[in-house]
Structure 1
Amino acid sequence: MTSSILDILQAAAPAAGEPPAWVTFMPFVGMAVIFWFFILRPQMRQQKDQREKINSIKRGDQVLTGGGFLGKVIKVDDQYAEIELAPNVKVKALKSTISDIVPPTGSAPAND
């Protein structure tokens, strides 16, 4: 009876060759670092560039709104931009809904 209890205790004891517990978390730390450098960091940089582009909108720029409207900026303040979509058709849009500033059509394409 004593030998069976000793066998049970020996089987329950941790093996001497096992690595420490912190080593088992290293793959998760590695995945977090990879996730940060390949996904989060570039996305944050892209958002920062978009925010700077939107803040640099000035009168006379041609812009594309989030709804797909293309128009010319008439007036800009802190949060809003007044955009002329067609002659005598003006809308007031949030600056955050402007998706892009369209370059003038008279310029040469970038790949020429």
Structure 2
Amino acid sequence: MNWNNLNELSQIDQIIEDSKKQPIVVFKHSTRCSISATSLNRLERAWNVDNTPAYLLDLIAFRTISNQIADTFQVEHQSPQVLVIDQGKCSYHASHWDISMDELKPYISQ
């Protein structure tokens, strides 16, 4: 899986713009949380959609970006959390043990 690192606020605007062409996945990861590490690992092992852009946010290091994502997409902050951004809006989100490729795939397959 090829993650794009999400480490600048300006990338949120780019994600919104790019999501007008295809859905974008954002994974908000807490490097201090074992549930987050497990959820990330499960998602990476099941990932089978190479054409979908995916961003990984270290929310411990970049909490300001995490907060802006919550505000911009009107999704309460959770950790870990996966969001699908499509047409500039959050079309799907899940957190903790609810993060799964089976649940995510219908929102990113076109």
Higher RCO, Cα 8 Å, sep 6+: 2
Give your verdict on TM over 0.5.
no
Normalization by structure 1: what TM-score? 0.22
- Greater C-alpha Rg: 1
TM-score of the superposed pair, with normalisation by structure 2: 0.22
